[in-house]
């Protein structure tokens, strides 16, 4: 009891919002330390490179250091973390938009090391990009160590990005605004709270321990005065910055295209070549160009001549394109600010020498804001970053003028920020409107919950609670007292009670889980899913204060996904009428459960029934065999005239097999508008436990994963579902039958060959079967040989569907003469921790189940591969597997439609039989 109380108190203490505040502080601190480390190491490498150039001829030292440092940096990126290529800001933006890109401790370490090598060896890139990605990656890793909801994890990653930028420039306000304006585009209180906290801590720690920011601005800038006569000149600066900013963005993409599509070199050699070119160019320039920090300071303080400044602008422009196009890890913000300051200084020099107004240093500051706005398309951030660097209120107006003008000019010439363009270049596109976004994104608990909730009272005796569970299919009940939620009781609580023999417990209140995890009606569906998965729950009460207003189960969420998928695509006209039973037979009901086998194709009916019989024998189940006759919607199913001759012959064959196998076989013929609806109605009316269906292995229906009927059963059937794709030999036989069927004289109705019209095709089905049996090499379905599967491949991932597949395998072994079972688990090469506990558990389970009948026929193995389907298909080919049995994907149906479905990919490309199992939908 004491341990339970401690857990409850700890759960209350570590609520997501409270934990997020603590994590934001940690993120700010760690991001600042990473930025400081990057700054000092880059500075040390840059100083060492300059010293070497004085000892060894510069035309040898600088290109050599650039080549070596660039090659090593590119090697680390290519081999360890490809996600760290480039700036890092586009990758963070993609992750915040829920694009599955790696962001963890591995990414942080590689970005830190490779970025240090690339920038320190002379590549003209900024260190703010690496600090942003490092801060975000560390925040993402922290959210894995201390799990939180998806929305809160997203906010923490954004906080890591703001802390990284704030630590690089010592600009806490800019860090927050950049994330809000460029990355997250969210101004909620939680975003601002965590972002400000992490950014503030990052900037303070960086300033105290790391000294000056990336740009050191002289104090004289804070005392400048703005003259209204200078407005036309600032407008000119804004226009020039917009033009060159758009050109800069185009140049970045063109450089990427040239490097990756026309340059036949690997990433390490491309980055090394960029370092070689950069070092060679810098060696030909004045000595001041060898130290990037000194050059930035010289340009900003106005200590350089206009000739030197023009050279700095041109070389920085070109060398930044060369460096970034190679894929080197480094940012674009610092080069943009240097280019802006150089351009502004040139305009200021022109204004001062020609009109006698302004100071070049003032225009240099304004140019920084203008060029950054033109490149990143974040005018607010562009104004704020220069304001924080200079602390001059007099600069605010010219900064706003140049930033806004540069933004509009650049947007007109080349729309979209550099970060959006980089994502599009890599094939990542974001929705342009809310209508293109996920239809589930805006759903809340109130939209999905069941408002009518069955509850128990806390003073109810346990015998009554047991009766309530026996009468209901629910796995848990909320417990209320005086109209308020006080707890929840589940079947697990009752099992634990029986196991521990706690006879002293008399009422529900004594064994219930007090203070259960709840959600409010306004909580997003993503938060509900997180809580269900995080705490392995099957249901969540929905409360308003302490008042119970509803409940959400896993089935409710799956139905919501189904509704979203079918929304806007429903057939026009009236909804389908209920199906109509026109024929049925009943065998003695002696089984413990029922397996439904919908059959349509005589060529695979026998094989499906053999599989169903193997499972039924093992579980002591009965078999329900269903055939659906589809009719047009112009008349109700109960009024349609149909012939059942072919259907009854097909079901008669099933009954014959049932008698031979000594399994109770029930049959049924239904007339329906929609076959999927007829199957669902049968499942409900006959209390089906397992539905077993054939599947061709692919679909050409847009928006469907497995096909119309199979998709519907997968989403809506409450029972367990098994899909079987027979091996290619079986389907080749089907194709031969269909081809020969087309060449027969007087064929039956081609739209429904097994439902001939009684007036026109009364006895042609019999003739059809006789003609098939007379063809050489062709046998009718009742003469098809018995299905034989000896070599089984069982991929597992530890989920409930995979566990259900393994539980069914002992029964399916009766289809084998000399069974060989190989249980496998696939790990990604980047996954350093291979958890094989699920693999071991499933292997031991099968060994125990099969040891008495088949000896030691179970082996296990684990493999590393980048994609699961490729690994499974390779194993099946290597071991000549006859069948692959695996669990359905654990992702939501909507996500599968976007990202692809692993079982589907395996089934489509496999030549052997594939059996896909989906467990019963839990609450």
> CA–CA separation, 515 vs 749, rounded Å?
64
> CA–CA separation, 682 vs 581, rounded Å?
10
CATH number at residue 596: 3.40.50.620
Whether the pLDDT of residue 797 is over 80: the answer is no
Assess whether 413 and 463 both reside in one domain.
no
Q: What's the token pair of residue 251?
A: 């140049």
Query: Residue 873: its pLDDT value, please?
Result: 87
Decide if 571 is inside a domain.
Answer: no
Q: Which of 361-370, 444-453, 601-610, 844-853 has the lowest mean pLDDT?
A: 844-853
Query: Residue 753: its pLDDT value, please?
Result: 33
Confidence of residue 149 (pLDDT cuts 50, 70, 90): low
Assess whether 533 and 627 both reside in one domain.
no
Assess whether 198 and 72 both reside in one domain.
yes
Whether the pLDDT of residue 745 is over 50: the answer is no
Assess whether 155 and 227 both reside in one domain.
no
Say how many C-beta atoms besides its own lie within 10 A of residue 431's C-beta.
11
Decide if 437 is inside a domain.
Answer: no
Decide if 579 is inside a domain.
Answer: no
C-alpha neighbours within 13 Å on the C-beta side of residue 709: 21
pLDDT tens per residue, range 82-136: 889 999 999 998 888 777 788 889 999 999 999 999 999 989 998 888 999 999 9
> CA–CA separation, 90 vs 100, rounded Å?
13
Of 369, 396, 425, which residue is a domain's last?
425
Computed over its alpha carbons, how large is the radius of gyration of the chain?
34
Decide if 129 is inside a domain.
Answer: yes
> CA–CA separation, 686 vs 692, rounded Å?
14
The three-class DSSP label of residue 578 is coil
> CA–CA separation, 399 vs 237, rounded Å?
11
CA dihedral 182, 188, 192, 194 (to 10 degrees): -110
Percent of the chain with pLDDT over 70: 78
Of 167, 186, 210, which residue is a domain's last?
210
Report phi then psi at 415, rounded to 5: -70, 155
Confidence of residue 785 (pLDDT cuts 50, 70, 90): very low
Whether the pLDDT of residue 869 is over 90: the answer is no
Query: Residue 570: its pLDDT value, please?
Result: 40
pLDDT tens per residue, range 444-491: 888 888 877 778 888 888 877 887 777 666 778 888 887 788 888 887
Assess whether 260 and 352 both reside in one domain.
yes
> CA–CA separation, 723 vs 850, rounded Å?
24
Whether the pLDDT of residue 749 is over 50: the answer is no
Query: Residue 692: its pLDDT value, please?
Result: 92
Whether the pLDDT of residue 897 is over 50: the answer is no
Find out whether 255 and 324 touch, Cβ atoms under 8 Å: yes
Assess whether 361 and 400 both reside in one domain.
yes
**Domain count along the chain:** 5
Report phi then psi at 712, rounded to 5: -65, -45
Read off the pLDDT of each residue in 639-662 and give the average, rounded to a whole number. 86
Query: Residue 691: its pLDDT value, please?
Result: 93
Decide if 5 is inside a domain.
Answer: no
DSSP-assigned states of every residue in 196-232: HHHHHHHHHHHHHHH-S-SS---GGGGG----GGGHH
Whether the pLDDT of residue 819 is over 50: the answer is yes
Decide if 200 is inside a domain.
Answer: yes
β partners of residue 650: none
Read off the pLDDT of each residue in 738-755 and give the average, rounded to a whole number. 35
Query: Residue 517: its pLDDT value, please?
Result: 85
Query: Residue 371: its pLDDT value, please?
Result: 95
Query: Residue 186: its pLDDT value, please?
Result: 61
The three-class DSSP label of residue 315 is helix
Assess whether 379 and 518 both reside in one domain.
no
Query: Residue 507: its pLDDT value, please?
Result: 81
Question: Which residues of 796-919 form beta strands (DSSP E)?
Answer: 820-827, 858-864, 883-887, 913-918
Assess whether 740 and 640 both reside in one domain.
yes
At residue 505's C-alpha, the angle toward residues 502 and 506, to 5°, is 140
Decide if 716 is inside a domain.
Answer: no
Q: Which residue has the higher pLDDT, 454 or 607?
A: 607
CATH number at residue 116: 1.10.3080.10
Read off the pLDDT of each residue in 347-370 and give the average, rounded to a whole number. 86
Query: Residue 428: its pLDDT value, please?
Result: 78
Find out whether 681 and 579 touch, Cβ atoms under 8 Å: yes
Find out whether 572 and 653 touch, Cβ atoms under 8 Å: no
Beta strand 665-672 pairing with 580-585: antiparallel
Q: Which of 108-122, 145-159, 842-856, 881-895 has the lowest mean pLDDT?
A: 881-895
Whether the pLDDT of residue 314 is over 80: the answer is yes
Of 748, 766, 783, which residue is a domain's last?
783
Read off the pLDDT of each residue in 17-35 and give the average, rounded to a whole number. 82
Q: Which residue has the higher pLDDT, 444 or 891?
A: 444
Read off the pLDDT of each residue in 365-372 and give the average, rounded to a whole number. 92
The three-class DSSP label of residue 891 is coil
Q: Which residues contact 620 (CB under 8 A, 6 or more apart)?
A: 591, 592, 593
pLDDT tens per residue, range 389-429: 887 777 888 899 999 999 999 999 999 899 989 988 887 77
Q: Is 194 left (phi over 0), alpha (psi -120 to 50) or beta?
A: alpha
Whether the pLDDT of residue 297 is over 80: the answer is no
Assess whether 51 and 142 both reside in one domain.
yes
> CA–CA separation, 447 vs 360, rounded Å?
60
Decide if 4 is inside a domain.
Answer: no
pLDDT tens per residue, range 672-718: 988 888 998 999 888 888 999 887 755 433 333 345 677 778 777 88
Beta strand 476-481 pairing with 484-490: antiparallel
- Containing H/E element for 628? strand 621-630
Q: Which residue has the higher pLDDT, 546 or 76?
A: 76
Find out whether 525 and 557 touch, Cβ atoms under 8 Å: yes
Assess whether 177 and 294 both reside in one domain.
no
DSSP-assigned states of every residue in 252-318: HHHHHHIIIII----HHHHHHHHHHHHHHHHHHS-GGGG-HHHHHHHHHHT-S-HHHHHHHHHHHHH
pLDDT tens per residue, range 188-247: 655 677 888 888 898 888 888 866 655 655 545 555 666 777 889 999 999 999 999 999
Confidence of residue 746 (pLDDT cuts 50, 70, 90): very low
How would you class 735 by CB atoms within 10 Å of its CB: exposed for 0-12, middle for 13-18, buried for 19 or more? exposed
Query: Residue 382: its pLDDT value, please?
Result: 92
Assess whether 341 and 197 both reside in one domain.
no
Assess whether 799 and 777 both reside in one domain.
no
Whether the pLDDT of residue 635 is over 80: the answer is no
Domain of 530?
Answer: 445-566
Q: Which of 640-644, 666-670, 887-891 has the lowest mean pLDDT?
A: 887-891
Query: Residue 247: its pLDDT value, please?
Result: 96
Read off the pLDDT of each residue in 169-185 and give the average, rounded to a whole number. 84
> CA–CA separation, 473 vs 261, rounded Å?
59
Q: What's the token pair of residue 216?
A: 């050191």
């Amino acid at each position: 009891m004491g341990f339970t109380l401690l857990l409850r108190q700890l759960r209350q203490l570590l609520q997501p919002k409270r934990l997020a505040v603590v994590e934001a502080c940690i993120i700010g601190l760690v991001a600042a330390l990473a930025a400081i480390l990057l700054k000092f190491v880059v500075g040390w490498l840059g100083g060492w490179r300059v010293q070497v150039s004085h000892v060894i001829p510069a035309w040898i030292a600088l290109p050599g250091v650039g080549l070596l440092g660039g090659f090593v940096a590119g090697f680390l990126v290519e081999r360890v973390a490809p996600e760290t290529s480039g700036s890092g800001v586009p990758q963070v933006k993609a992750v915040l938009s829920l694009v599955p890109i790696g962001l963890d401790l591995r990414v942080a370490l590689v970005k830190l090391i490779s970025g240090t090598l690339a920038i320190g060896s002379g590549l003209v890139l900024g260190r703010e990009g690496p600090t942003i990605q490092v801060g975000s990656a560390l925040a993402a890793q922290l959210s894995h160590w201390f799990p939180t909801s998806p929305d809160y994890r997203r906010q923490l990653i954004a906080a890591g990005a703001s802390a990284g930028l704030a630590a690089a420039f010592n600009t806490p306000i800019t860090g927050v605004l950049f994330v809000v304006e460029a990355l997250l585009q969210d101004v909620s209180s939680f975003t601002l709270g965590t972002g400000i906290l992490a950014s503030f801590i990052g900037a303070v720690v960086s300033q105290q321990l790391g000294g000056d920011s990336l740009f050191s601005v002289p104090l004289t800038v804070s005392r400048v005065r703005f003259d209204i006569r200078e407005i036309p000149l600032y407008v000119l600066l804004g226009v020039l910055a917009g033009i060159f900013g758009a050109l800069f963005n185009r140049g970045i993409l063109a450089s990427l295209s040239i490097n990756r599509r026309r340059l036949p070199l690997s990433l390490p050699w491309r980055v090394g070549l960029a370092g070689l070119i950069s070092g060679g160019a810098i060696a030909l320039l004045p000595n001041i160009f060898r130290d990037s920090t000194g050059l930035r300071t010289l340009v900003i303080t106005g200590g350089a001549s206009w000739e030197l400044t023009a050279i700095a602008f041109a070389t920085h422009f070109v060398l930044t394109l060369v460096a970034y196009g190679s894929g080197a890890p480094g940012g674009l913000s610092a080069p943009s600010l240097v280019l802006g300051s150089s351009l502004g200084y040139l305009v200021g020099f022109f204004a001062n020498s020609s009109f006698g107004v302004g100071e070049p240093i003032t225009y240099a500051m304004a140019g920084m804001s203008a060029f950054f706005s033109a490149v990143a398309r974040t005018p607010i951030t562009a104004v704020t970053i220069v304001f924080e660097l200079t602390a001059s209120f007099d600069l605010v107006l010219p900064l706003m003028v140049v930033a806004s003008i540069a933004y509009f000019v650049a947007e007109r010439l080349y729309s979209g920020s550099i970060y959006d363009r980089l994502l599009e270049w890599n094939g990542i596109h974001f929705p342009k409107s809310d209508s293109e976004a996920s239809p589930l994104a805006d759903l809340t608990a109130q939209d999905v919950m069941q408002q009518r909730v069955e509850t128990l009272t806390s003073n109810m005796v346990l015998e009554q609670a047991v009766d309530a569970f026996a009468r209901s299919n629910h796995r848990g009940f909320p417990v209320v007292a005086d109209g308020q939620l006080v707890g929840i009781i589940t079947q697990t609580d009752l099992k634990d009670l029986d196991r521990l023999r706690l006879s002293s417990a008399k009422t529900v209140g004594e064994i219930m889980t007090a203070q259960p995890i709840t959600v409010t009606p306004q909580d997003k569906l993503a938060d509900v899913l997180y809580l269900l998965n995080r705490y392995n729950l099957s249901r969540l009460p929905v409360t308003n204060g302490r008042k119970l207003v509803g409940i959400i189960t896993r089935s409710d969420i799956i139905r919501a996904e189904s509704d979203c998928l079918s929304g806007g695509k429903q057939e026009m006209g009236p909804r389908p009428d209920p199906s109509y039973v026109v024929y049925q037979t009943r065998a003695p009901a002696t089984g413990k459960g029922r397996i439904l086998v919908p059959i349509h194709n005589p060529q695979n009916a026998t094989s499906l029934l053999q599989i169903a019989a193997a499972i039924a024998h093992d579980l002591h189940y009965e078999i329900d065999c269903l055939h659906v006759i589809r009719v047009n919607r112009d008349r109700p199913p109960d009024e349609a005239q149909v012939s059942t001759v072919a259907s009854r012959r097909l079901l008669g064959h099933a009954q014959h097999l049932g008698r031979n196998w000594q399994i109770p076989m029930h049959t049924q013929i239904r007339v329906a508008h929609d076959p999927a609806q007829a199957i669902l109605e049968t499942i409900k009316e006959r209390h089906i436990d397992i539905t077993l269906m054939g599947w061709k292995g692919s679909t050409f229906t847009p928006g469907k994963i497995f096909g119309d009927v199979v998709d519907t059963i997968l989403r809506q059937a409450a029972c367990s579902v098994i899909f079987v794709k027979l091996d290619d030999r079986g389907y080749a036989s089907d194709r031969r039958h269909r081809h020969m069927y087309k060449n027969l004289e007087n064929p039956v109705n081609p739209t429904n060959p097994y439902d001939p019209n009684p007036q026109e095709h009364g006895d042609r089905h019999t003739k059809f079967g006789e003609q098939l049996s007379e063809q050489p090499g062709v046998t009718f379905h009742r003469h098809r040989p018995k299905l034989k599967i000896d070599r089984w491949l069982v991929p597992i991932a530890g989920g409930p569907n995979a566990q259900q597949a393994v539980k069914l395998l002992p029964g399916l072994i009766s289809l084998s003469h000399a069974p060989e079972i190989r249980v496998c688990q696939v790990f990604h090469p980047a996954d350093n921790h291979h958890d094989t506990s699920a693999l071991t558990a499933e292997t031991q389970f099968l060994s125990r189940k099969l040891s008495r009948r088949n000896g030691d026929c179970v082996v296990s193995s684990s493999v590393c591969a980048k994609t699961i389907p490729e690994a499974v298909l390779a194993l099946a080919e290597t071991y000549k597997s006859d069948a692959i049995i695996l669990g359905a994907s654990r992702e939501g149906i909507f996500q599968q439609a976007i990202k692809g479905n692993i079982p589907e990919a395996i089934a489509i490309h496999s030549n052997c039989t594939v059996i896909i199992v989906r467990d019963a939908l839990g609450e």
